[in-house]
Structure 1
Amino acid sequence: MRALQALSLVLGVALAAPALTVPALAATEAPKPPSLSWSFDGVFGTFDRAAAQRGFQVYKEVCSACHSMNLVAYRNLRDLGFNEAEVKAIAASVEVTDKLPNDQGEMFQRPGLPSDKFKAPFANEKAAAAANSGKAPPDLSLMAKARPHGPDYIHGLMIGYEEPPADVKLTAGQSYNKYFPGHIIAMAPPLAEDAVSYTDGTKATVDQMASDVAHFLMWAAEPKMEERKRIGFQAILFLIVATGVFYAVKRKVWADLH
């Protein structure tokens, strides 16, 4: 009898557990960010160079103060439509430590070159963590591919800041973001109206800047996407033509046997 009672108790707890945990998990899940229509979506999608260039400007003037992009070199910006002179000027606008010492054996600073990777805002991860409440800001090189629906996530995160509900208490350095998992984020709102002055005259609203920087980060995460799609399309076209040729040859060879 006691064994049956114990088994009933275990089964009751097991059946009740999902009902207790699912609402708790659902309460901490962030709402899905708005799903936007991106120019690079679909089989024939391509990057919008103007949007990506604006996004680079947002990264350079706003995001690069905290976030590195260690996998992207200045010369890669040629793929976004920047000419050689512009790339050299962008690279030379920063001072970097040369990889080799001078004749006195000392490391020295020099203007950046197109072959250099984007300059990181901090000397190392520990320095980045010390300047940001103990946690280093993530590198953004692959951010658009590191999250599900990455561009939508980045755009949503940028526009998702709002006043917290009455029952949510924030500590110093925390902000409330409706699209961030858990909603409590250590990054202050990075964008504000007219935070940058776009060189092409586009109005720099928060939504516009968020969309542009998401577009740029998608390009940074997958710079060969257009080439990959083009090769894939050519391969499919070749297979279709080859299939037709092989079928015609088969009919010719076997014609006398039917």
Structure 2
Amino acid sequence: MVRLFGPFVGLFFAVALLWSFGNGAYVAITEPAAPTAEHEFHKHPKDVHFASDGAFGRFDKEQLQRGFLVYKEVCSACHSLKHVAFRDLQQLGYSEAEVKAIAKQWGTKQPTFDPKTGDRGERDNLPADHFPMVYYAGQGSPPDLSLITKARHGGGAYVDSLLTGYQDQPAELLKKFPDAKTPEGLHYNPYFANLNLAMPAPLTGDGQVTYSDGTPATVDQMSKDVSAFLIWTAEPKLDKRKQTGWAVLGFLLAATVLAYLSKKQVWSNVGGH
């Protein structure tokens, strides 16, 4: 009995699925969704070039050090790097002694807990420690930036566009969508998904940090430098991965040529018999 009615049950569900799909497509065509401010005024990331872009790109260590300085002086008060250890900074060109000093002088300490007494405390950071979490009592933790360039469409270009994209709401937006006025306490940024975000512009003007290499610390320069640094935090082994990739491709190419020549040699006399 089950075998008799089984095909009809399957046919019923197939027809129901096709009808639902067709009805949804018809409604989407005949009754398109009303336009929204987010859909019309949201911008895609700007076209920004970084030294690490492309198959031959490599990190610019001087830029990464400048970006780390921007993160340290501007961003670290609100955003953590929980997937990055202090000793990883040696990859940027810092010496072991410099890394120890950076870890020890970092504003946020490492939490400690004594299971025997139940006491909690703090200690200085060590090079082996990861950057400590930033936490606001009653508000939780702002987004961690370790993998932000992997988690957002556009990667480093998105971060750079967001940091430099703060502006007043366009008059055209308010005219077309009067109810879309930026709420009190939020800030308009067309590169953010819903146009308004709680974080105020972190880069407020030129000279906010002082670069040791003499590079002018303009808002645009600081934004690109910290974006490049966050590309590195998301994939610190990018340079090595590219080097390995080219070596593997060279090996595969050589192996392919050898395999083809071997095939020609082995089968060279087959056609004559």
User: Is TM more than 0.5 here?
Assistant: yes
Distance 1:11 1:215, change over 3 A: closer
Structure 2 distance, partners of 1:85, 1:103, is: 34
Alpha-carbon contact 1:97-1:107 (below 8 Å) kept: no
Tell me how large the CA RMSD over aligned residues is: 2.4
Structure 1 gaps of 5+ residues are 1-9, 131-135
Structure 1 distance, partners of 2:212, 2:133, is: 24
Name the aligned partner's letter for residue 230 of structure 1. Answer: Q
The corresponding residue for 1:157 is: 162
Distance 1:253 1:12, change over 3 A: closer
Structure 1 distance, partners of 2:222, 2:38, is: 30
Distance 1:128 1:112, change over 3 A: farther
Is residue 2:54 matched to residue 1:49?
no
Alignment match of 1:221 (pick from 234, 238, 242) = 234
Alignment match of 1:127 (pick from 134, 137, 143) = 137
Once the two structures are superposed, the pairs formed by residues 46-195 of structure 1 within 5 Å of their partners are 46-94=58-106, 96-97=109-110, 99=112, 101=114, 106-122=119-135, 127=137, 129=139, 136-166=141-171, 167=174, 169-192=181-204, 193-195=206-208
Q: Once the two structures are aligned, what percentage of the paired residues are identical?
A: 44
The corresponding residue for 1:245 is: 258
Structure 2 distance, partners of 1:17, 1:204, is: 51
Higher alpha-carbon Rg: 2
Structure 2 distance, partners of 1:178, 1:100, is: 44
Alpha-carbon contact 2:186-2:200 (below 8 Å) kept: yes
Structure 2 gaps of 5+ residues are 1-23, 175-179
The corresponding residue for 1:24 is: 36
Alpha-carbon contact 2:38-2:193 (below 8 Å) kept: no
- Matched residue pairs, number? 239
Structure 1 distance, partners of 2:262, 2:269, is: 13
Alpha-carbon contact 1:29-1:181 (below 8 Å) kept: no
Task: Show CA shifts across 1:214-257 (max 9, x none).
Answer: 00000000111111111111111101101111111222222222
The corresponding residue for 2:11 is: none
TM-score by length of 1: 0.84
Structure 1 distance, partners of 2:55, 2:25, is: 50
Structure 2 distance, partners of 1:213, 1:185, is: 20
Alpha-carbon contact 2:79-2:142 (below 8 Å) kept: yes
Structure 2 distance, partners of 1:79, 1:178, is: 35
SS of 2:269 mapped into structure 1: helix
Structure 1 distance, partners of 2:224, 2:138, is: 26
SS of 1:108 mapped into structure 2: strand
Superposition deviation, residue 102 in structure 1: 9.1
TM-score by length of 2: 0.80
Name the aligned partner's letter for residue 54 of structure 1. Answer: R
Structure 2 distance, partners of 1:84, 1:44, is: 29
SS of 2:31 mapped into structure 1: helix
Structure 2 distance, partners of 1:103, 1:51, is: 46
SS of 2:123 mapped into structure 1: strand
Distance 1:11 1:103, change over 3 A: closer
